Amino acid sequence: MDRKYVLAFDCGTTAVKAVVIDFDGTVICDAKADYPLIQLHPGWAEQDPEILWAAICATSIAVVGKAGIDGNQVIGLVFAAPWKNIIPISADGQVLRNSIIWMDARASDQAARLNDAAGSFVGTGQEYWPRLMWVKEQEPEIWTKAKKILGLNSFFKWKATGQIATEPSDDFIHAHNPAIQAYYDKVLQAAGLEKDLEKFPPMKLSTDEVGKLTDRAASQMGLIAGIPVFGGFGDLPAITIGTGCCQDDMVHIYFGTSSWLVDILRERKENYAPQYFTFDPTHEGGLFALQTGCLAYDWAVEQFYHAERQFLGDRIFAYVDQDLKEIPAGSENLIATHWLNGELPPLSKNAKAVFFNVTSNHDRRHMVHAIMESICYTHRRYLDQYEQTNGKKLSSIRVVGGGAVSDLWMQMLADVLQITVEVPESPRYTGAMGAYYCAMVGLGNIRDYNAIHDAVHIEKTFAPRQENAEIYNKLYPIYLKLHPALRDLYGQINGVY
């Protein structure tokens, strides 16, 4: 009998990875495609969703061919994609403008007015509702023509099935939790969007079947029509499920283009996490996000190891790890910040990267090493917030994403946090594995997500080295003081946004 497979699409900010996974949870193979980020002005960030769909189709064809399987062996399809995209489509199915993506911060004026009208802080110009206000005010013709406004996951499902539906983590209009729904209603009214609710898609659960793959989409993707397409989710819950840290009070860290620490909660807590996402109808995710995570590391490698990267390609990362092994903890008192694209409160969007305390004794190795440490310092800040609020200290934490492949970085993280770091098997596939579990629940092969934690195999463990605690305990408080010291200067040079 033919083996059956799930096809999972793990979409990041700048690339998509299509992964074929068999029913036992074994990754067969993957295919990747990059897509561009469009930044027309400082603080803006857009993408052409049709280019992203073309990348989905190209990777689907490539991975099915690489796996050597027939399209009829794929019996479930799931998309995981970044949240808070704004993609307006017309009644005749035309995309009316580039997607305004999650990192776009153009709507600072709208955010200020929204915060005033709501009587509380809703968000910065990067938040979802102010960006909706910007489109309505600055592009009224597009707003009027928009029959529906989709997120990226919803857009992919629409292209695949012709059906329009969002899912809980990317829906900021509807909520299962009455308290969150009341908050959304308040914000929508303050934003002047309460009469536009018909523009937003209905919600289905992540494990619900949204529709079947159409003939047109099947032809584009190298598959067969009729494959069930499940609701899927944003990248945040996908990775949460893939780590197995999806029960009450479980925490994980993700090292990708962006980075984050997530805490799974029953209810949102005031003055706790900078952001939240809905994980499922009964759980929320407390999100402590870094706008720039491994993107800062990639930038540093490109700048300081450009010639070697041209020659080595993807092997450059192993080369850099080896080159940095002799750099001591603390990079000989060099501190960097990873804020290439600014950051969320308590930092600021107009903050940018710096190297602090550079001397003639420092070379390119120290620069890259310090960028890596800076990301660890920010996660230490978030872990401190978690422990202070919850009155508990973690003994270990699971870490996934492309950065988790680096043993050097994971040991550094363990040393900075002073807790054990656990890296699951195949940390690059965590989002795809979350999508796989989603499909398996939807197909009825797994009852729910609760059993996943023990099913995730831990491949590597990094215990903190006490000898490095002193240097990091010295530098970490200095790192925390950099943004307050530079805040006014960032406003003078970059403006306030």
pLDDT in tens, 463-472: 999 999 999 9
Asked if pLDDT for residue 7 goes beyond 70, the answer is yes
Per-residue confidence band for 278, with pLDDT thresholds at 50, 70 and 90: very high
Q: What is the mean pLDDT of residues 63-83?
A: 94
Per-residue confidence band for 247, with pLDDT thresholds at 50, 70 and 90: confident
The H or E element that residue 349 is part of is none
pLDDT per residue as tens digits for the range 324-373: 999 999 999 999 999 998 898 889 989 999 999 999 999 999 999 999 99
pLDDT per residue as tens digits for the range 291-329: 899 999 999 999 999 999 999 998 999 999 999 999 999
Fold of the domain built from segment(s) 244-497: Nucleotidyltransferase; domain 5 (3.30.420)
> What's the CA gap between 13 and 80, in Å, rounded?
11
Return the minimum-mean-pLDDT range out of 67-76, 122-131, 450-459, 482-491. 450-459
Asked if pLDDT for residue 160 goes beyond 80, the answer is yes
Question: What's the pLDDT score for residue 454?
Answer: 83
Those residues with Cβ within 8 angstroms of residue 270's Cβ, 6 or more apart along the chain or in another chain: none
Asked if pLDDT for residue 1 goes beyond 60, the answer is no
244-497 matches 5-231 in CATH topology: yes
Question: What's the pLDDT score for residue 496?
Answer: 83
In Å, how far from its chain's centre is CA 391?
Answer: 27
> What's the CA gap between 221 and 159, in Å, rounded?
11
pLDDT per residue as tens digits for the range 364-413: 999 999 999 999 999 999 999 999 999 999 999 999 999 999 999 999 99
- Architecture of the CATH domain 5-231: 2-Layer Sandwich (3.30)
Asked if pLDDT for residue 447 goes beyond 60, the answer is yes
Q: Where are the domains of the chain?
A: 5-231, 244-497
> What's the CA gap between 51 and 35, in Å, rounded?
7
Q: What is the mean pLDDT of residues 265-286?
A: 92
Q: What is the mean pLDDT of residues 244-254?
A: 92
Question: What's the pLDDT score for residue 250?
Answer: 92
Strand partners, 148: 89
Structure tokens of 386?
């978690």
Question: What's the pLDDT score for residue 297?
Answer: 97
Compare 12 and 158 and report the one with higher pLDDT. Answer: 158
Asked if pLDDT for residue 3 goes beyond 70, the answer is yes
Asked if pLDDT for residue 180 goes beyond 70, the answer is yes
C-beta separation of 373 from 338 below 8 A: no
> What's the CA gap between 241 and 233, in Å, rounded?
11
List the one residue out of 26, 150, 41 whose CA is nearest residue 86: 150
In Å, how far from its chain's centre is CA 367?
Answer: 25
Per-residue confidence band for 11, with pLDDT thresholds at 50, 70 and 90: very high
C-beta separation of 285 from 236 below 8 A: yes
Average pLDDT, the chain: 95
Strand partners, 253: 261, 399
Asked if pLDDT for residue 157 goes beyond 70, the answer is yes
Q: What is the mean pLDDT of residues 148-173?
A: 97
pLDDT per residue as tens digits for the range 204-215: 999 999 999 999
Per-residue confidence band for 423, with pLDDT thresholds at 50, 70 and 90: very high
Per-residue confidence band for 13, with pLDDT thresholds at 50, 70 and 90: confident
β-strands 275-280, 335-336 pairing: unpaired
Asked if pLDDT for residue 26 goes beyond 80, the answer is yes
| DSSP letter (8 states) at residue 455 | H
Q: How many CA atoms lie within 13 A of 355 on its CB side?
A: 18
Per-residue confidence band for 19, with pLDDT thresholds at 50, 70 and 90: very high
Q: What is the mean pLDDT of residues 189-194?
A: 98
List the one residue out of 120, 141, 38 whose CA is nearest residue 85: 38
Q: What's the pTM?
A: 0.88
